[in-house]
Chain A
């Protein structure tokens, strides 16, 4: 244990506390040895004379107090780890990769061992150690002693996270800039331990005072294949109860012909027999596989590489296929003429009067007010479009999200405004889901019902009203989920790896490694492993403090023997 992490004022405070404590101890009644003597006559006289001349009665050993204070102060300063050193001119930043890729064989153990060894050769004041896993953590702050690092690394293992070293480095450099606020920034040496890639172009952009040294060899991983991304979208066939899946499979380019060896695909526990198509990719190491018309029955779609390689974490990918059923819509008689042809063209919609999910009606029509409704309302001179939903925090957010989701951008607002001779506006409010269209919009002379945006608005509006979840078209580690799916996560937009993510609507996205750098560590490493000889220039003053304390003890013993100290 030491007090290196105490600031200067705390060390001074400790000294004051020691002085006070020793003073109090001096004032305390001592445990005296009882000696029976022939008479105390002469002691009484001697003490009475002495008492009359001292300033205080109980503080009897000022020299002893000073000796003790000197000894205690030396020990305290020694423990405080004061170093005789010049101001550090080089900051050493040691970065330990804790990403998924470090799970490969014993690469993490080797990197950790090398980090501990080389951290010892760097002055504590100029040394900072970071953990680069799912997030950036400080393992050892400047001035902290090495045993703390060993303790903090104890039991720590690579996380199921993509390699984000490049993303963390700017943060690290900013931290260092805060530490060294001066006109002449110090030399900064970044020491990278692990597999995380650092691109050459990125290194080229580093400031002149920053040097990057890679301390770990890249593991040869030519044999590895792995899934690095996946997603699902609307079926190109147009079937409403089908989706198309896209999966990215990383395979070293020279083994592309073996990429699909041992690939097992199943859906709902049964082997997938419909096959797939391979789509060319810009990256020769990535193959994109497409699975078409996968039924939306709520079952898991699992891809697995049965052939063993040296990195099994990315050998399986699971995508949860949503369950889709036809929307049950009841249409009021007054609107059937207009709406039925549109709804008949949408295979996801079933017009029925039995247990409807949605209503399409006018103001004057009867209907269950609690059901989501596409409502044609009588014109009151206000907005032509009214949006009402309860799945938003406020009206502005509702308007912003619904505008794109409903495809309202495709509405020819200018033409509509000209035809109706009035401004086109949208009102948004919170409440039972409702998409309102003013009655003038349906007039033939308005031209809206004959435009291509009308069926789109109706189709999307129905899905918007029942809050049907959007598909996740692409999920990759380290990347935010796109579109509406990404918004579901709020601030937590980063997809994890080798884990199951539960979306807000309880849908699950199972992902594998999804980290190209982990699956293909043979990707070019810009900085080669370079020599690092450590840095010296500081030596602890503990030895000197201990020697002076020992000399003081000798002097005190000598004085004690001479009867000069009690």
Chain B
């Protein structure tokens, strides 16, 4: 199967330029990372004062608050908020459903993945790519630096179509990896043969913050189908015999709406971000719309 997107398309200067002004801001990143631009829970040598603690032998004397010592006669150290990087784990869905239509959703998905990689790398965060379908595969190890972008583009352009979607198995494996807690960006259509329940159950087990990028199409809700049809699921092979009638179509749309609402509800309860992208349109403008003043605070 032909690649959904080429490396040249992903490493397009205009494409990358349009992402330069966007920033993903985490409220607080877990400590233990390396110095970067995200505020972390770690206290130490930073810029913004955060707290005091009693001095203990071995502490750096440059941190002693001498003014306080003069007033209180006790030695305290001044603690500052440390700025660290945010681990960003990009999980593009490469299951069969992402490659089914023309143009495939995988094209929009991989460009969105590249876009988030570029944003994160641009702000010194570490980025890893784990594609998934019926299982998880490690596409790009977490790494930082703007200079890594060509490698990401190259790597994403080589992604191939997988089998059926299995959120449970894929995210279980992802959760089992010894990764620093960060932001997991799941780029998918979220069509799992097990239904939305299987998807949400799997995502609940992810200990990272979640950003869900849902790839949709207008035809998802308004399929241009007529007559007596034998609908075959491209992943599971399941067949549904249907005669397109107004009442059937209405119930179908209600089912689609329930699916979207269910995903929204999950995201709200989980305090996860949810972006719904139209796979038929350019993804960067759609992503940019979600960034207020170029920033999106998670």
- Are A and B bound to each other? yes
A265 CA to B259 CA, complexed, in Å: 115
Which chain A residues in 27-45 approach chain B with CB under 8 Å? 30-45
Contacts of B227 in A (CB 8 A): 33, 566
Given known A-B contacts A32-B241, A46-B255, A47-B248, A41 and B191 have beta carbons under 8 A apart: yes
Question: Is A323 interfacial (CB-CB < 8 Å)?
Answer: no
A49 CA to B245 CA, complexed, in Å: 13
Question: Is A61 interfacial (CB-CB < 8 Å)?
Answer: yes
Contact A42 B231 (CB under 8 A): no
Query: Of A35, A42, A49, A61, which is within 8 A of B232 by CB?
Result: A35
Question: Is B97 interfacial (CB-CB < 8 Å)?
Answer: yes
Query: How far is the CB of A363 from the nearest CB of chain B, in Å?
Result: 103
**B binding-site residues for A, Cβ under 8 Å:** 97, 100-101, 105, 189, 191, 193, 195, 220, 223, 225-236, 238-249, 251-252, 254-256, 258-259
Q: Interface majority SS on A: helix, strand, loop or mixed?
A: mixed
Q: Interface majority SS on B: helix, strand, loop or mixed?
A: mixed
Q: Mark A347-363, 1 if CB is under 8 A from B, else 0.
A: 00000000000000000
A459 CA to B129 CA, complexed, in Å: 139
Query: How far is the CB of B106 from the nearest CB of chain A, in Å?
Result: 11
Which chain A residues in 45-67 approach chain B with CB under 8 Å? 45-47, 49-50, 60-61
| Further contacts, 8 of them, CB under 8 A, given A49-B251, A61-B243, A563-B249 | A30-B243, A35-B232, A38-B101, A39-B191, A40-B231, A41-B195, A46-B252, A566-B244
Q: List 17 A-B contacts (CB under 8 A).
A: A30-B228, A32-B229, A32-B230, A34-B231, A36-B231, A36-B233, A36-B234, A37-B231, A37-B234, A38-B97, A45-B252, A45-B258, A46-B251, A61-B243, A563-B226, A563-B244, A566-B244
Question: Is A564 interfacial (CB-CB < 8 Å)?
Answer: yes
Query: How far is the CB of A36 from the nearest CB of chain B, in Å?
Result: 5
Which of A35, A38, A43: most chain B Cβ within 10 A? A38
Contact A33 B248 (CB under 8 A): no
Contact A563 B246 (CB under 8 A): yes
Contacts of A49 in B (CB 8 A): 251
User: Which residue on chain B has the smallest CB distance to residue A44?
Assistant: B240
A32 CA to B241 CA, complexed, in Å: 8
Query: Of B195, B225, B251, which is within 8 A of A50 by CB?
Result: B251
Contact A45 B251 (CB under 8 A): yes
A37 CA to B254 CA, complexed, in Å: 18
User: Which residue on chain A has the smallest CB distance to residue B97?
Assistant: A38
A39 CA to B193 CA, complexed, in Å: 8
Contact B238 A34 (CB under 8 A): no
Query: How far is the CB of B247 from the nearest CB of chain A, in Å?
Result: 7
Contact A566 B228 (CB under 8 A): yes
A30 CA to B100 CA, complexed, in Å: 26
Contacts of A31 in B (CB 8 A): 228
